[in-house]
Structure 1
Amino acid sequence: MNKLEIACFNLDSALIAQENGANRVELCAEMQVGGTTPDFEITKQVRKLITIDLNVMIRPRGGNFVYSDTEFQQMKNAIVQFKEIGVNGFVFGILTENNLINTIQNTELIELAKPFPCTFHRAFDEVSDAFQSLEEIIECGFQTILTSGQKPNVMEGVNRLAELVVKAKNRISIMPGGGLRSTNIDFIQEKTKATFYHSSAITDGSEMANPEEVKQLKSKLHV
């Protein structure tokens, strides 16, 4: 069965995700900038109340994915702190000023996160060479790439997503996300043959997941 991750920006959304069949929650703050590191106390509450997997975004601010030494230290501190409360994985991505994969810093965070798996987030959609970057991300030790196929959304990026799944050869999971909804998930599954899918399930411009949308997304996942 293909699996579903719901990006959540608050405790209530995480509970909605769990109650309606999601396999995993990606917890973030600041939806308007594409997600940042969530508040520690809120994350602790979420961890207490959900039993499905909980991945946490590690991103000190919105904007680009090139970080100062201070910001990089903040990322390391956050990983150490979140590990103590039993999250299941981390979501981050660091680029160089030339939009290449910062292999040194990413590898350092992956080592710090062990034994928990790491997802390279949509910073991937800004790299100049998708396939070289794919190899470098695998080399760093990431287990998943969250991507819209280097386009604004998964519908526009579907061909690149399909290419990435083929090139990944099961060495890493390519997780389509960005504008994924119950209205297009059948098409995206058919075209990409991915096995894990990512959506906020937000349908009304709020920051709250729609229970019916989560249910619909889950019901359309292929066996």
Structure 2
Amino acid sequence: WDDGFLMEVCVDSVGPPSRGGGAAPVPSAGLLQVVKQCVRVPVFVMIRPRGGDFLYSDREVEVMKADIRLAKLHGADGLVFGALTEDGRIDTELCTALLAVCRPLPVTFHRAFDMVHDPLVALETLISLGFERVLTSGCDSSALEGLSLIKRLAEQVRGGITERNLQRILEGSTASEFHCSARSARDSGMKFRNPNVAMGASFSAPEYSIKVADVAKVRTLNAIAKNIL
């Protein structure tokens, strides 16, 4: 907040530190201890037991609670999660239970928000529940496409933010916080490469291309925000 805005960068590996560009990284729970040793900025941990929708089973909820406790134990500065009912509304019962486990840490409701039935009603629900932030792209494919809704409800903008569109998004909304991946691809160091097998990934996702936070992109985004906010 030294410059009047907050930039949050999503991190899912221990690569070049995003702090070099002036951003706060967000690790997965498994990276928390190492990331905390590497950076001096707040680290918020995403609580997400699986990919797919945001309608969770009882066992998945138990996993989420356990992950929250472990994240707190290992020094998380905040937590990020989201949960919906089958009809696309905020799951107030589950969110209340998870918030109780998260406290006293601050909590962000993540982009499950972009899948709700009525975003304006959902926002009021999250405020009443006590979430500190909402992560959204304006219920559209990117923050730029969702800009009109972001003007009405977003405290934090996320979704398809790049150095090419950040200026327009910030100028067209009241947001003072934004979240981005700021990634680039790094080629694998493997010399032998088996072209017939994809280890845990689809063939459409390059097996030997590693996505890492790009310090140059982070610095560019940081400079754009400083110039506007």
**TM-score calculated relative to the size of structure 2:** 0.85
Equivalent position of 2:54 in the other structure: 65
Work out the CA distance in 2 between the residues paired with 1:153 and 1:76: 30
Equivalent residue in structure 2 for 1:12, among 8, 12, 15 = 15
What is the identity percentage for the equivalent residue pairs of Structure 1 and Structure 2? 34
Deviates more, 1:199-208 or 1:117-126: 199-208
Give CA-to-partner distance per residue, 1:169-200, whole Å, 9 cap, x none.
xxxxx211111011111111111110110000
Larger Rg: 2
Larger helix share, 1 or 2: 1
**TM-score calculated relative to the size of structure 1:** 0.87
Equivalent position of 1:140 in the other structure: 129
Equivalent residue in structure 2 for 1:155, among 144, 152, 159 = 144
* Pair 1:213-2:220 in alignment: no
Give CA-to-partner distance per residue, 1:76-135, whole Å, 9 cap, x none.
011111101111100100001111100111111111111110110000000010000000
Q: How does 1:92-171 map to 2 (within 5 A)?
A: 92-165=81-154
SS at match of 2:212: coil
Gaps in structure 2 of 5+ consecutive residues = 186-208
Partner amino acid, structure 2, of 1:27: P
Work out the CA distance in 1 between the residues paired with 2:38 and 2:114: 33
Work out the CA distance in 2 between the residues paired with 1:3 and 1:145: 14
Work out the CA distance in 1 between the residues paired with 2:93 and 2:73: 24
Equivalent position of 1:178 in the other structure: 159
Task: State the aligned residue count.
Answer: 201
Q: Could you list the runs of 4 or more consecutive aligned residues of structure 1 that deviate by over 2 angstroms after TM superposition?
A: 203-206
Is this contact kept in 1: 2:184–2:211, CA < 8 A? no
SS at match of 1:207: strand
